[in-house]
Amino acid sequence: MISAMLRAPIDLRSDTVTRPTPAMRRAMAEAVVGDDVYGEDPTINRLQERAAEIFGREAALYFPSGSMANLTAIKTWTRPGTEVICEAQGHIYLYEMGALSAIAGCVPNTVPAPDGILNWDLIEPLIRPHVYYRAQTALIELENTHNMHGGTVYPPSVSDDICERAHAVGVPVHLDGARIFNAATALGRGVADITGKFDSVMFCLSKGLGAPVGSMLVGSRDFIERARVTRKLLGGGMRQAGVLAAAGLVALEQTPKRLHIDHENARHLAEGLARIDGIGLDPKKVVTNILIFELRPVNGSPARTAADVVAELAKRDVLCGATGKHSIRMVTHFDVGRDAIDQALAAIAEVMTQPAHAAQA
């Protein structure tokens, strides 16, 4: 058993790889369930009540995935032929199958932002004038923490300002808060406090919080009632899913208070990486559990490709993912402790002493 655990790979590909804890499995086994399409699953109802309470909202709704919860929010706030403003590397734009267009019928209107953090000056020029033959801006979407910018965090004053100005021109704002508890931890603030001005908020139970399945959408009672209809339309009406929600409840109550450990591990990893020749990143920018680093030329040798380094690390039981030709993402989570981080660093240092693969020279 112990040797099997020692041989398990150090999996830094994503915080989605976390497995349910013994407490979650116990709660799943013991969950009281009912038919949720009839609103009769007490465990799902409890999870929804707790999520609404924690976010200081009227209501919440349980989803099988974050993508479905984001799509539901988009489809609920918009109609076909309208525009959704988001950051150019946004998850809804790049990693959700183009569902905002394919299913909600919306046109994405994107703008790149430094560190993925939008502000009103970047958003305002994208808002369409009220001319009858122009596609209208129906929704603004922000992502906190920003996944593909390395887990960056919105200063609450910036996201509050965007929401206030958007509301002044009649546009709702949805938050993709897949990792909002990581943002709250980094800021030392509560999730209700930093998301209070958004019209709807999605967050994942299945990322750093460690649940096997599930995401939540929170908002007003009226919005959530409309979202429930959209969820059913998308095939997301579930029956005795309280067995899953039970793990989600444990995740929601227990895990947020330990996320700072993942952040400390990510910073430790970043500081170690920054000392390795051929790797470029600024450890001070690593404030949550995601880091993305660049592979750079060293002493006249070309930069290693991410595909090559990822493959060499996999041979040493360290798993991570390429995000570009010369960039790699690593994500810390509760299945990777400090010892594993140090082992990963040793493996990376070894791999980076190899010459660039002949094929790429």
Ligand X SMILES: *Cc1c(COP(=O)(O)O)cnc(C)c1O
3-state secondary structure at position 274: helix
Q: Distance between the two ends of the chain, CA-based, in angstroms?
A: 43
Element (H, E) at 244: helix 242-254
What minimum distance in Å lies between the beta carbon of 170 and ligand X? Answer: 26
Q: Which of 45, 65, 136, 343 binds ligand X (CB under 6 A)?
A: 65
Does 215 sit near ligand X (CB under 6 A)?
yes
Does 87 sit near ligand X (CB under 6 A)?
no
CA 256/CA 26 separation, integer angstroms:
19
Q: Which is nearer to ligand X, 227 or 345 (CB)?
A: 227
Does 91 sit near ligand X (CB under 6 A)?
yes
Q: Which of 127, 178, 249, 344 binds ligand X (CB under 6 A)?
A: 178
Q: Which of 41, 51, 66, 103 binds ligand X (CB under 6 A)?
A: 66
What minimum distance in Å lies between the beta carbon of 292 and ligand X? Answer: 13
Q: Which is nearer to ligand X, 143 or 262 (CB)?
A: 143
CA 9/CA 24 separation, integer angstroms:
23
Does 72 sit near ligand X (CB under 6 A)?
no
What minimum distance in Å lies between the beta carbon of 69 and ligand X? Answer: 8
CB contact burial 209-247 (16+ within 10 A = b; e otherwise): bbbbbbbbbbbeeebbebbbebbeebebebebbbbbbbb
Find tokens 């919306």 and name the residue.
Answer: 106
**Residue closest to ligand X (Cβ):** 66
Q: Which of 83, 87, 143, 262 binds ligand X (CB under 6 A)?
A: 143
User: How deeply is 63 buried, as exposed, middle or buried, from its count of CB atoms within 10 A (0-12, 13-18, 19+)?
Assistant: buried
Q: Which of 18, 21, 43, 67 binds ligand X (CB under 6 A)?
A: 67
Does 137 sit near ligand X (CB under 6 A)?
no
CA 29/CA 187 separation, integer angstroms:
35
What minimum distance in Å lies between the beta carbon of 95 and ligand X? Answer: 7
Q: Any idea what DSSP says for residue 301?
A: B
* Region of 36-44, 59-67, 232-240, 242-250 interacting with ligand X (CB under 6 A): 59-67
3-state secondary structure at position 316: coil
* Region of 36-44, 62-70, 115-123, 232-240 interacting with ligand X (CB under 6 A): 62-70
Q: How many residues bind ligand X (CB under 6 A)?
A: 13
Instruction: Enumerate residues 293-332 that contact ligand X by CB under 6 A.
Output: none
Q: Which is nearer to ligand X, 150 or 272 (CB)?
A: 150
* Region of 51-59, 61-69, 159-167, 272-280 interacting with ligand X (CB under 6 A): 61-69
CA 361/CA 155 separation, integer angstroms:
42
CA 68/CA 256 separation, integer angstroms:
23
What mask, x for binding ligand X by CB under 6 A, covers residues 195 to 214?
Answer: ---------x-xx-------
Q: How many CA atoms lie within 13 A of 67 on its CB side?
A: 12
The C-alpha torsion from 335 through 337 and 341 to 344, rounded to 10°, is -50
What minimum distance in Å lies between the beta carbon of 65 and ligand X? Answer: 4
CA 208/CA 334 separation, integer angstroms:
7
Does 182 sit near ligand X (CB under 6 A)?
no
CA 11/CA 313 separation, integer angstroms:
11
What minimum distance in Å lies between the beta carbon of 93 and ligand X? Answer: 10
CB 206 within 8 A of CB 215: yes
Find tokens 């790889």 and name the residue.
Answer: 17
**Which residues of this chain interact with ligand X, rule CB under 6 A?**
65-67, 70, 91, 143, 147, 176, 178, 204, 206-207, 215
